[in-house]
Structures are given as C-alpha cells and as structure tokens.
C-alpha cells in the first residue's frame, strides 16, 4: 500500500507481491531485485527451481523471496504457477512475463520444433499466466502485468523467425488485454529491451563482424545490461504508472530511433 503520496513515494511497491518468470539470472534477476528494493516480496521462477543469488539480494532488501520451478515448454507449468504463488503469499499484485528463449536458423531450414518451443515459452506461457493473474487481480480491483517484449517487436531481425513472431504478438496481446482490463484497475504494459548483454545474444557478441556492426548502430555506443531494466520495471509495477495502459516502453540505447 502506498502511504507516501509524494512523487518518489509513488515509485514504492511496499506490501506488494510480484512474480517474475525467469528471475534467476539476467534481465529477470535485475527486475526482481529492483522490485524487492522497492518494497515488494518477490517470487521468481527458473527451470531448475533455484535462484540463490536473486533470493539473497531480495533478502538483503528486507523482503521475502521464493523460487519455483517452471519449464514453460510444458503448458502445465504455466497453468499452475499463479495458484502456487497465491498459496505461498496469498496475493499477486505484479506479474512480469520475462522468461524467454531464443532459437536461430535460416528461414529455409528453421525446424518446427524450434518454432513450437519458442512460441510455448515466449508467447503461450505469457497468455496463460496473464489470464490467470488477471482473474485474481480483477477480484481485488488492481494489478500490474508487465510483458517483456523486444526491439524485434518492431523489426524482423535475421534467423530468429519464431522469436520475432512471438514478440510481435506479445505487443498485440499487451494492447488487447489493456483495453479490457484498464477499467478493472489493472495495467498491462510491456518493456522492449534492445540488445542486452545476456545469454540470448551470446552468439552475436562472440561474432566479431556482427558484434561490430550492431555496436556501431547503437547510438548509446554499448550493449544494454540487465540493470537498465530495473527502473522501467519498477515504474510500470508502481502507482507512478497508474494511467499508463497498453504501452510498449523501449529501452534500447536509441537503436530504434536511428
């Protein structure tokens, strides 16, 4: 509950419970820690069910944390997750759909198995979790859903056909859900990171030619880092964004502006 009515106080999320999928490392860990530093108890997921470093940082922020196992290539994992959070913490105020995978292959050889896997994790799980979270939030009259999109929500990229399709669709889902849920006190928005130095772009960073091409095109002159999403995530999870609905917030070092 926000008790500090100042502008800075509106960025607090004290007493809230957040779920961050894929919160054991990278972007998810940075956002989970930011939410805890803002005052929220945070549940994170990973395939292994372990997130020791993230949980330690959450505890250092003075908040409760928990890690749950979830492999979103199995639809049942998404279908049961919100109930698990409610069982542990009794409420869910913030959902961050961050878990994602990347598969690369030329368009003529792109395996259907890659397509299905990416769609299951990057899109289908987001829909299932968002719908279930929204049902709980609608009963309470408030909630925040944050989808992690990508600059490939707006571009095609190369050799990442399923990923680009899923991220395009995620923007549409963000807007369609926002239209129906805004009147119920629920904000649905997305963050579109640029090229962030995480395992998803390891292949690009390791390629001296492609890496040079990408860095030269980023006006900020550097790869993004997970901490670049901490502020945007806290903003969209807090009362500071209460009149922001259906928006895709780009965090890309001006990549798309170029």
Q: Model's pTM, two decimal places?
A: 0.96
What H or E segment, with its residue span, contains residue 20?
A: strand 17-20
**Residue 2, domain member (yes or no):** no
The position carrying tokens 């040079």 is 212
Q: How many CA atoms lie within 13 A of 14 on its CB side?
A: 10
Q: What residues of the chain score a pLDDT lower than 50? A: none
Sheet holding 94-97, edge to edge: 65-69, 41-46, 17-20, 94-97, 143-148, 186-193, 248-251
- Tell me the β-bridge partners of 191: 148, 249
Among residues 114, 163, 195, 243, the one annotated as catalytic is 163
pLDDT value of residue 1: 53
Say whether 163 is catalytic: yes
Residue 1 lies in a domain: no
Q: Is residue 226 part of a domain?
A: yes
Q: Burial of 134 by CB count in 10 Å (0-12 exposed, 13-18 middle, 19+ buried)?
A: buried
> What is the predicted pLDDT for the residue at 198?
87
Specify the CATH number for the domain of residue 171: 3.40.50.720
Report the domain count for the chain.
1
Q: Write down the pLDDT at residue 207.
A: 87
Question: How many helices (H) does the chain have, and how many strands (E)?
Answer: 9, 7
> What is the extent of the structural domain holding 52?
8-249
Q: Hey, is 248 helix, strand or coil?
A: strand
pLDDT in tens, 89-112: 999 999 999 999 999 999 999 999
């Amino acid at each position: 509950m926000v008790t500090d009515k100042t502008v800075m106080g509106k960025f607090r999320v004290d007493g809230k419970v957040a779920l961050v999928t894929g919160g054991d490392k990278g972007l998810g860990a940075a956002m989970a820690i930011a939410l805890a530093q803002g005052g929220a108890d945070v549940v994170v997921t990973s395939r292994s069910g372990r997130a020791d470093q993230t949980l330690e940082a959450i505890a250092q922020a003075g908040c409760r944390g928990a890690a749950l196992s979830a492999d979103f290539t199995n639809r049942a994992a998404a279908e049961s997750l919100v109930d698990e959070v409610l069982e542990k913490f009794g409420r869910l105020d913030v959902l961050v759909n961050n878990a994602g995978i990347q598969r690369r292959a030329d368009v003529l050889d792109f395996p259907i198995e890659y397509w299905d896997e990416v769609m299951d994790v990057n899109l289908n799980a987001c829909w299932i979790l968002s719908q279930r979270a929204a049902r709980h939030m609608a009963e309470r009259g408030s909630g925040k859903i944050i989808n992690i999109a990508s600059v490939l929500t707006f571009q095609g990229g190369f050799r990442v056909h399923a990923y680009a399709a899923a991220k395009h669709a995620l923007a549409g889902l963000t807007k369609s859900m926002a239209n129906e849920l805004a009147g119920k006190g629920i904000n649905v928005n997305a963050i579109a990171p640029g090229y962030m130095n995480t395992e998803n772009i390891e292949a690009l960073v390791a390629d001296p030619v492609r890496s040079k091409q990408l860095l030269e095109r980023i006006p900020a002159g550097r790869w993004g880092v997970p901490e670049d999403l901490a502020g945007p995530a806290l903003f969209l999870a807090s009362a500071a964004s209460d009149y922001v609905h259906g928006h895709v917030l780009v965090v890309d070092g001006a990549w798309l502006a170029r």
